[in-house]
């Protein structure tokens, strides 16, 4: 039986920044990459990438992983003993979008604090910490912070709040992990060096395959002994890779050439946010749109999110239904000014209809 034809490509595919395709120049360096067996630590291109990113983040060593979820899960496994807990905000990727992996694979329990669009207020996690509780309560071993915050709408975490939390957790022996999948965006938007963020955490994961446009891969960084243990667990989880320098070469190209251009994504997102706020006041506060993620409250305009997504798709704009009232649009390497112009028109017109047929 012949397979069903693929749907036509959207004019503006804003479903996620994970959709980026390798550029021609990136494909060229992948084809020419020097490779070796990475399980034996003999792939020079992987080692160069790990050293480059760990240095940028102010840490001793790095580990290349195929996914950001694996990078996070390796960190959680090593920081939190079975039966102990991590705490994170209620919208955090590690508790909302990694399919319960910390519990399934590592016997870790989780608790969450409430937050405004994922923004860190140290009072939230500090109010949950349970240390020195003996056999009576679950002990808190780790605080996870996400920067930028995906389901918060690309929210940037204030460095002052991170530092205040670090100062409070360090004397208690509670570790901190940064889910920095989009930390590059925070760095570009604020000008704060990556290492200034990275040094406040015991471990950091950063993604290469979102806004930076590599086809696959994340890097976990931390102290040298920590990364040595993470390498063992990566193999144990079945993610030991062989001549993976072909993929690491794409990551190196992305870090070298695609960080500064994230500012273009931020500018395009802000432009559409302002247009949507004009078309439907209250659908979005443009001042809250800090990076490349736009969250629209379509419910305020009378739209069920699923219907809004369907209506936008019919006009060539692909979105993600992110909640009972909201949809998400994410700008990235493959969405140019022309596609942004089209998305601006479609989204503004749909919001202005208030959920009524046009």
Cα of first residue to Cα of last residue in the chain, in angstroms, is 38
Dihedral sign, CA of 208, 112, 85, 103?
negative
In sequence order, which residues have a C-beta less than 8 Å from that of residue 46 and are 6 or more positions away? 38, 64, 244, 245, 248
| Backbone torsions φ then ψ of 203, nearest 5 degrees | -150, 155
Residue 331 has pLDDT above 50, yes or no: yes
Predicted pLDDT of residue 358: 47
| Backbone torsions φ then ψ of 182, nearest 5 degrees | -115, 30
At 46-58, the pLDDT tens digits run 999 999 999 999 9
- When pLDDT is averaged across residues 326-342 and rounded to a whole number, the result is 97
129's tokens: 């910490």
Predicted pLDDT of residue 7: 65
Pairing of strands 203-207, 61-65: unpaired
- When pLDDT is averaged across residues 276-304 and rounded to a whole number, the result is 96
- DSSP three-state, residue 317: strand
- As a whole number, the mean pLDDT across the chain is 95
Domains in the chain, ordered, with CATH? 24-257 (3.40.640.10), 261-353 (3.90.1150.10)
pLDDT-above-70 percentage for the chain: 97
Residue 150 has pLDDT above 60, yes or no: yes
257's tokens: 């050439």
- Sequence length of the chain is 358
Sheet holding 293-297, edge to edge: 293-297, 326-330, 320-321
Is the separation of the CB atoms in 282 and 351 below 8 Å? no
pLDDT-above-90 percentage for the chain: 94
Supply the pTM of this predicted model: 0.95
For residue 148, whether the previous peptide bond is cis, meaning omega lies within 30 degrees of 0, is yes
Alpha-carbon Rg for the chain in angstroms: 21
- When pLDDT is averaged across residues 285-308 and rounded to a whole number, the result is 96
At 117-138, the pLDDT tens digits run 999 999 999 999 999 888 889 9
- When pLDDT is averaged across residues 29-44 and rounded to a whole number, the result is 95
At 203-231, the pLDDT tens digits run 999 999 999 999 999 999 999 999 999 99
Q: How many CB atoms lie within 10 A of CB 15?
A: 18
98's tokens: 């990694």
Residue 311 has pLDDT above 90, yes or no: yes
Nearest residue to 183 (alpha-carbon basis) of 165, 166, 169, 201: 201
Predicted pLDDT of residue 116: 92
């Amino acid at each position: 039986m012949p397979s069903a034809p693929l749907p036509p490509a959207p004019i503006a595919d804003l479903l996620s920044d994970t959709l980026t395709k390798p550029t021609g120049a990136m494909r060229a360096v992948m084809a020419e990459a020097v490779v070796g067996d990475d399980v034996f630590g003999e792939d020079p291109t992987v080692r160069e990438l790990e050293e480059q990113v760990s240095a940028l983040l102010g840490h001793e060593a790095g580990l290349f992983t195929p996914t950001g979820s694996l990078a996070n899960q390796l960190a959680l496994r090593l920081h939190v003993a079975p039966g102990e807990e991590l705490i994170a905000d209620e919208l955090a990727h590690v508790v909302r979008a990694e399919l319960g992996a910390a519990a399934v694979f590592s016997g870790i329990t989780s608790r969450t604090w409430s937050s405004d669009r994922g923004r860190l207020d140290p009072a939230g996690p500090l109010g949950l910490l349970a240390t020195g509780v003996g056999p009576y309560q679950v002990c808190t071993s780790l605080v996870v912070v996400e920067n930028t915050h995906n389901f918060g709408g690309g929210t940037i975490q204030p460095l002052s709040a991170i530092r205040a939390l670090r100062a409070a957790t360090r004397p208690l022996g509670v570790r901190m992990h940064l889910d920095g999948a989009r930390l590059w965006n925070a760095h570009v938007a604020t000008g704060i060096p990556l290492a200034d963020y990275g040094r406040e955490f015991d471990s950091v994961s950063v993604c290469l395959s979102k806004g930076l446009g590599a086809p696959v891969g994340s890097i976990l960084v931390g102290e040298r002994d920590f990364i040595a243990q993470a390498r063992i667990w990566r193999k144990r989880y079945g993610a030991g890779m062989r001549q993976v320098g072909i993929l690491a070469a794409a990551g190196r190209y992305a870090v070298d050439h695609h960080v500064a251009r994230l500012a273009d994504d931020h500018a395009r997102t802000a432009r559409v946010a302002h247009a949507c706020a004009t078309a439907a006041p209250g659908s979005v506060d443009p001042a809250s749109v800090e990076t490349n993620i736009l969250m629209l409250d379509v419910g305020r305009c009378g739209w069920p999110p699923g219907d809004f997504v369907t209506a936008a798709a019919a006009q060539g704009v692909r979105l993600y239904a992110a909640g009972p009232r909201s949809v998400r649009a994410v700008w990235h390497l493959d969405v140019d000014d022309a596609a942004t112009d089209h998305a601006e028109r479609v989204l503004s017109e749909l919001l202005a209809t208030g959920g009524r047929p046009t």
